[in-house]
Structure 1
Amino acid sequence: MSKKKGLSLEEKRTRMMEIFFETKDVFQLKDIEKIAPKTKGITPMSVKEVLQSLVDDNMVDCERVGTSNYYWAFPSKALHARKRKLDELEKQHSDGKQRKAALQQAVEKAREGRQDTEERATLQKELQSLREQRAHLKAELDKYRECDPEVVEEIRKSNKTAKEAVNRWTDNVFAIKSWAKRKFGFEDSRINKAFGVPEEFDYID
């Protein structure tokens, strides 16, 4: 035989509400923990959880008196709660319909002027041609940019700076070679060979 399937949370909630509606009484948690398993088949371990979920959803009222919590729920309250929920859902449905209508109207408006007419096709071709011309002209401009006087002047300045830097390092190399010759009596050729300095090494004019 197959094992009997347990109650779902929603079934437990429904059965627990029946306890309140049928008795129209006020209970403590310990009372519900005794009644629910016997009369409604709700497992003792889940009674507190189910009851709290009903309190959280405002379906069961809870009031603390002294050190004890008391729970109650009357059919009239549940009826009003369901009516409020229904009104809320109907409003959401109405708002949704209005948003849908507005979106459909916006889509229709956006489609206006986008029909595949001969004029639109011609304009699209002209736009594509203009884009290609723009790309071609930009490429030509980039190609001749190096002839721009400002660019040429910038290159000249960069070359001058680089030349000055090279000649400063050349000064440093000659100074080190002079020091090495005085200190150790090395020949130029020996120093050049030891440090990989080319024989034609000299200042840049």
Structure 2
Amino acid sequence: MKNLLPLAAVVIAISACSVSAAYDPVITVTGTALSNNNRGYTPGQEYDFTFVLNGSRSEEQNYDMYNTYQNMWQTDLPESEAVVEDIYGSGVSGDYQRPQDPWEWITVNSNGLHIKSDVEAGSMNLFTPEDDEIFQIVLTEIVLPEESFDYTTTSYKTPWQYFSDYLGEYEVLDGGGLTVNYSTVLDVDSVTITPEPATMALLGLGGLFIRRRRT
């Protein structure tokens, strides 16, 4: 049984402000470090990874996919617009920079939400607790209940247009992992999607958001 518990007042507040300008959606993944993570994360300790998406990103026709079984925003060329603009959180150190040759995607399908940020050439300038350079971060497995997301949109939506419908916190009770450099380091507990902080302040929402729980 899966229940969605929206805070309707927040939806009304967002609608009332009639914000037409695009913002960058912020996706924060929180989880508990596994005992065999092999990357220096303290077992049992909570860490978070935050991905800032390019909210106004144009369609990449040769790579993006919009069909009846998945929606995907993907970048696989250095000259293409970024999908992920920033990565930070307690799970990483360093100041993110876009790699010379990135491979990144955001995918929504029947298994939920998937995020990948990979370095094919260059550097993200991010590091693990052991100061090893990070060349890959992947959010895998079942992360969010499929009922919460429409992944059958066949026409392009920017990340801002798409994720504006899914602001909130999602608890994950049966699956979800985050890998760093091909090693699964976190058992994901929750995923939170919010507007960028500047937009949150403009709307006067502070820390409020729609809360959706999976039970």
Whose strand proportion is higher, 1 or 2? Answer: 2
TM-score normalised by the chain length of structure 1: 0.21
TM-score normalised by the chain length of structure 2: 0.20
Larger-Rg structure? 1
Whose helix proportion is higher, 1 or 2? Answer: 1
Greater relative contact order (Cα 8 A, min sep 6): structure 1 or 2?
2
